[in-house]
């Protein structure tokens, strides 16, 4: 599986509600090179989850084009791995079968899927919880299981929708480190392309190569910042470095600018 680039051109999404037509986002265009880690940063309600849904094919775009590796994909599920904010582990199967779910759905024999899942789970410290049920794991562990589930399916582009938003701050930092170590662990051409959505400025700067700032609804990309910080991203060093702080300040200013008009709007 080689990583692919993602191109989005003029994407917009409008939908009907009881209150009339609502535009989630409008004229969104960007290019992501293979193996790049890009974040979309924006306030809550700006349409970034909808944008990810549309790219993944879970919702239909109202206009615009999504291209992977230069052409429109025939099946979105075959090029995108999606990770949700909720772990969405199924309560009725054990953790190992949850992690194996992606493989099983794609035709892999159950025993083999379980074996592969157990291997990766053990590598990342979840091996002992294979036979447990999801409700017996903590939030961080469930999100890790969910990420492994997505990784195992082996799609070239990963779409991560605020995967750590529901976790406490401490667990969130741990998970960011872990995500980066997993991603950086993939060598050369195998290193996947990642599109990461978040509302957390520090998180965006910490994990990405580039940050796209999205405006309030109707969302559009209003600012792009290249993050030139060395990899691997070491938390202690980065938090102490002035460049990190400057990036955060620049992005925060960009989000806040124009957000004053949005105060008082009902979402």
Q: What is the DSSP string of 102-157?
A: HHHHTT--HHHHHHHHHHHHHHTT-GGGTTSBGGGS-HHHHHHHHHHHHHHT--SE
Least CB distance from residue 130 to another protein, whole Å? 11
Angle, helix 110-123 to helix 95-105, in steps of 10 degrees: 120
Q: Which is nearer to another protein, 203 or 211 (CB)?
A: 203
How big is the chain by its Cα radius of gyration, in Å? 19
- Residues 49, 163: Cα–Cα separation, whole Å: 11
Written as six digits, the tokens of 134 are 């999801």
Q: How many CB atoms lie within 10 A of CB 91?
A: 8
Q: Using CB under 8 A, which of 124, 209, 250, 259 touches another protein?
A: 124
Q: Does 232 contact another protein by CB under 8 A?
A: no
- Coil, helix or strand for 97? helix
Q: Using CB under 8 A, which of 14, 178, 209, 234 touches another protein?
A: 178
Q: Using CB under 8 A, which of 102, 156, 163, 219 touches another protein?
A: 102
Q: Using CB under 8 A, which of 26, 32, 41, 137 touches another protein?
A: 137
Q: Does 125 contact another protein by CB under 8 A?
A: yes
Give the range of 39-47, 73-81, 213-221, 254-262 binding another protein by CB under 8 A: 73-81
Write out the residues near another protein by the rule CB under 8 A: 53, 56-58, 75, 77-78, 80-82, 84, 86, 88, 90-93, 101-102, 105-106, 122-125, 127-129, 132-133, 135-138, 140-141, 153, 170-171, 174, 177-178
């Amino acid at each position: 599986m080689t990583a692919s680039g993602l191109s989005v051109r003029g994407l917009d999404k409008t939908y009907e509600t009881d209150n009339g037509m609502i535009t989630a986002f409008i004229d969104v265009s960007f290019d992501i090179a293979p193996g790049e880690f890009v974040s979309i940063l924006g306030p809550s309600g700006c349409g970034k989850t909808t944008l990810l849904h549309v790219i993944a094919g879970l919702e239909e775009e109202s206009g615009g084009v999504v291209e992977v590796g230069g052409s429109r994909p025939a099946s979105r599920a075959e090029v995108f791995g999606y990770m949700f904010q909720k772990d969405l582990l199924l309560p009725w199967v054990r953790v190992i079968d949850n992690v194996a779910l992606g493989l099983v759905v794609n035709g892999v024999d159950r025993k083999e899927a379980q074996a592969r899942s157990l291997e990766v789970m053990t590598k990342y410290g979840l091996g002992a919880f294979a036979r447990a049920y999801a409700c017996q794991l903590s939030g961080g562990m469930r999100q890790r299981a969910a990420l492994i589930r997505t990784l195992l399916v082996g799609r070239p582009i990963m779409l991560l929708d605020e995967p750590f938003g529901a976790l406490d701050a401490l667990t969130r930092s741990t998970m960011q480190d872990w995500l980066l170590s997993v991603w950086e662990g993939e060598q050369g051409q195998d290193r996947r392309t990642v599109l990461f959505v978040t509302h957390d400025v520090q998180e965006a700067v910490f994990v990405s190569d580039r940050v796209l700032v999205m405006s309030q609804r109707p969302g559009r990309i209003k600012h792009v910042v290249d993050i030139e910080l060395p990899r691997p991203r070491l938390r202690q060093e980065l938090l102490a470095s002035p460049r990190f702080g400057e990036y955060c300040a620049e992005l925060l200013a960009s989000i806040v600018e124009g957000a004053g008009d949005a105060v008082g709007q009902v979402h």
